[in-house]
Amino acid sequence: MSEKEKVFYERGTEELKLKNIRAQKLVRAFNHSEVEDSEKREEIIRELFGSVGANSAIEHNFHCDLGYNIHVGDNFYAGYNCTILDMAEVRIGDNCMIGPDVGIYTAGHAIEPKGRNKSGYGIPITVGNDVWIGGSCVILAGITIGDNSIVAAGSVVTKDVPANTVVAGNPARVIKSIDN
């Protein structure tokens, strides 16, 4: 990963605080919305995210850092307790499903301890079309998940996932190819 692909940030700046407050107000409104009020829930997500395709659905207890760095395509679904740390862009294609308790983390910190808690960086994550991410998965910074792939429940994705594959484990490894 080249340094210019990383998005650097300093924790505690007034600008970052204001962006986070905006996101947290919208996240709270979403998580406290009535389940049957799908119009209100969609309105909040459209205000929170950078872009949203048609027919998106997100279950309660969603969390994110900024919101505006999240872009989802048509027919997006995220299960309960989804967390997307979007210090850098997260782009998710069409027809993607995310199981419960999934974490998608663009954020990282320095290896050296001095100053680690004062700044960080984000590396974009890209998820292709027709991807299924099973429950309790973790997707780490800088990952690309190819079209038509499946990330099996409980996997920790530390490397890119090729298109048309099933990955599983910690760290996730290709266990099967998918024939189209």
Q: Where along the chain do its domains lie? A: 3-177
CATH number of this structure's domain 3-177, picked from the four choices 3.40.640.10, 3.30.465.10, 2.160.10.10, 3.90.1300.10: 2.160.10.10
Each residue of 134-170: pLDDT tens digit?
A: 999 999 999 999 999 999 999 999 999 999 999 999 9
CB atoms within 10 A of CB 91: 17
Mean of all residue pLDDT scores within the chain: 95
Burial zone of 90 (CB within 10 Å; 0-12 exposed, 13-18 middle, 19+ buried)? buried
Question: Is 63 an active-site residue?
Answer: no
Residue closest to 102 by CA, chosen among 82, 88, 123: 82
> Which band of pLDDT confidence, cut at 50, 70 and 90, is reported for residue 2?
low
Query: What pTM value is reported for the model?
Result: 0.95
Catalytic option among 32, 60, 63, 109:
109
Q: Phi-psi bin for 22: left (phi > 0), alpha (psi -120 to 50), beta?
A: alpha
Residue 42 structure tokens: 């969609």
**pLDDT 10s digits, 106-118:** 999 888 888 888 8
Q: Is the pLDDT of residue 65 over 60?
A: yes
SS3 state of residue 106 = coil
